[in-house]
């Protein structure tokens, strides 16, 4: 009980400081904590222990809603937590968390009270917003797209949400123009999954998908395992390539986590997903 009350006391002491100290705390506390979370290999521990950290981030964003550095960290945190919750078998909770991922992500690019309007923004205005960004904006551009895509992923295929994917596509294409290597070739991963998850008759582009995945794998030297899982889950399944599907997922399972400690959490989630997908091989092919 003493420890519990001590934690509450520390939090209460922090709250008055949040508005003036948000940027300082973001640099001295949040960034190292985010890096440490990425090194965790116990997914269940992350699912259970991250909420307190997210509550602190929420409070800081509320006190400094225009701080883009803080918003970028918040988006990363909520995107990552949603992925961990999916791996922990808590999709409903992940869907709830994805709402914040979208809110913070879209706030990185659009300063407006009603972010819902961005979903119907004329493409000319979207293109202008993206064209005005340069390499210095790559972080907020990429995470804006990621936060938005995370929310769409958890909307259970609703037509209204899927219609927004074309806007995320434009964001990721702009990321490629500015720096295709950012975050392990993350824009290539999104586009590979986007073009590879639909049959050609519905707008899918299998060969374009394959090209994006191969670029991402080259950029990460095949050590960012989510790329391999997405490659198998979308492209390999769509073109009914069972051999590629199994080979990619087995590569994930054989990868030693200790060789890339800075992405241990993402790679551990990928391993869990690969195990689940391999068990469904007979259903897919």
Q: What is the per-residue pLDDT across 245-267, written as a single tens digit (0 to 9) for each?
A: 999 999 999 999 999 988 888 89
- How confident is the model at residue 190, as a pLDDT? 94
Unique residue bearing structure tokens 């440490």: 36
At 34, the pLDDT band (50, 70, 90 cuts) reads low
Percentage of residues in the chain with pLDDT exceeding 90?
Answer: 49
Decide if pLDDT at 91 tops 60.
yes
Domain boundaries, the chain: 1-160, 180-285
At residue 135, what are phi and psi to the nearest 5 degrees?
-60, -30
Q: What is the mean pLDDT of residues 81-94?
A: 89
Residues 160-213 have pLDDT tens digits of 888 889 999 999 999 999 999 999 999 999 999 999 988 888 888 999 999 999
Sequential DSSP letters for 227-269: HHHHIIIIIIHHTT-HHHHHHHHHHHHHS-GGG-GGGHHHHHH
Residue 43: closest CA among 85, 77, 79: 85
CB atoms near residue 25 (< 10 Å): 19
Contacts 24+ apart (CB under 8 A), 169-172: 169/194, 170/123, 170/126, 170/127, 170/130, 171/109, 171/130, 171/141, 171/142, 171/144, 171/145, 172/142, 172/145
Q: What is the mean pLDDT of residues 30-51?
A: 74
Q: What is the mean pLDDT of residues 122-126?
A: 85
Distance from C-alpha of 66 to C-alpha of 60, rounded to nearest angstrom = 11
Asked, colleague to colleague, whether 1-160 and 180-285 share their fold, the answer is yes
State the virtual CA torsion across 205, 209, 212, 218 in degrees, nearest 10.
Answer: -150
Decide if pLDDT at 221 tops 70.
yes
At 88, the pLDDT band (50, 70, 90 cuts) reads confident
Whether the Cβ atoms of residue 167 and residue 144 lie closer than 8 Å to each other: no
- How confident is the model at residue 24, as a pLDDT? 47
Decide if pLDDT at 74 tops 70.
yes
Residues 110-123 have pLDDT tens digits of 876 666 667 777 88
Reduced to 3 states, what is the DSSP secondary structure of residue 50? coil
Decide if pLDDT at 78 tops 70.
yes
- According to DSSP, residue 154 is labeled T
Distances (CA, A) of 72 to 103, 135, 140: 11, 15, 6
| pTM for the whole structure | 0.84
CATH class of the region 1-160 = mainly alpha
Tokens representing residue 189 in the block: 């991963």
State the virtual CA torsion across 102, 140, 198, 252 in degrees, nearest 10.
Answer: -100
Tokens representing residue 144 in the block: 């804006």
Decide if pLDDT at 19 tops 80.
no
- How confident is the model at residue 42, as a pLDDT? 79
The third-level CATH classification (topology) of the domain covering 180-285 is: 1.25.40
**Residue 115: CB partners within 8 Å, gap ≥ 6?**
103, 106, 107
Lowest mean pLDDT, pick from 35-39, 71-75, 176-180, 226-230: 35-39
Whether the Cβ atoms of residue 229 and residue 247 lie closer than 8 Å to each other: no
- How confident is the model at residue 114, as a pLDDT? 60
């Amino acid at each position: 009980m003493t420890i519990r009350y001590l934690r509450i006391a520390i939090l209460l002491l922090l709250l008055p400081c949040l508005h003036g100290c948000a940027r300082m705390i973001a640099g001295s506390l949040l960034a190292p904590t985010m890096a440490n979370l990425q090194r965790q290999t116990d997914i269940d521990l992350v699912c259970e222990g991250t909420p307190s950290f997210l509550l602190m981030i929420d409070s800081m964003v509320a006190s400094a809603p225009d701080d883009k550095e803080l918003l970028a960290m918040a988006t990363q945190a909520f995107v990552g937590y949603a992925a961990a919750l999916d791996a922990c078998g808590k999709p409903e909770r992940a869907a709830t968390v994805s709402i914040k991922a979208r809110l913070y992500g879209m706030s990185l690019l659009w300063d407006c009270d009603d972010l819902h309007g961005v979903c119907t923004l004329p493409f000319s205005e979207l293109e202008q917003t993206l064209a005005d960004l340069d390499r210095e904006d790559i972080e907020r551009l990429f995470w804006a797209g990621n936060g938005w895509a995370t929310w769409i992923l958890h909307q259970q295929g609703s037509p209204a949400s899927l219609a927004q994917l074309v806007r995320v596509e434009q964001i990721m294409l702009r990321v490629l123009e500015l720096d295709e290597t950012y975050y392990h070739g993350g824009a290539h991963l999104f586009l590979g999954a986007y073009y590879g998850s639909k049959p050609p008759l519905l707008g899918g582009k299998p060969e374009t998908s394959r090209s994006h995945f191969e670029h991402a794998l080259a950029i990460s030297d095949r050590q960012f395992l989510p790329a391999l899982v997405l490659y198998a889950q979308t492209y390999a399944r769509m073109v009914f390539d069972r051999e590629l599907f199994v080979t990619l997922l087995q590569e994930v399972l054989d990868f030693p986590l200790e060789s890339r400690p800075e992405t241990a959490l993402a790679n551990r989630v990928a391993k869990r997903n690969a195990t689940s997908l391999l068990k469904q091989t007979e259903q897919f092919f």
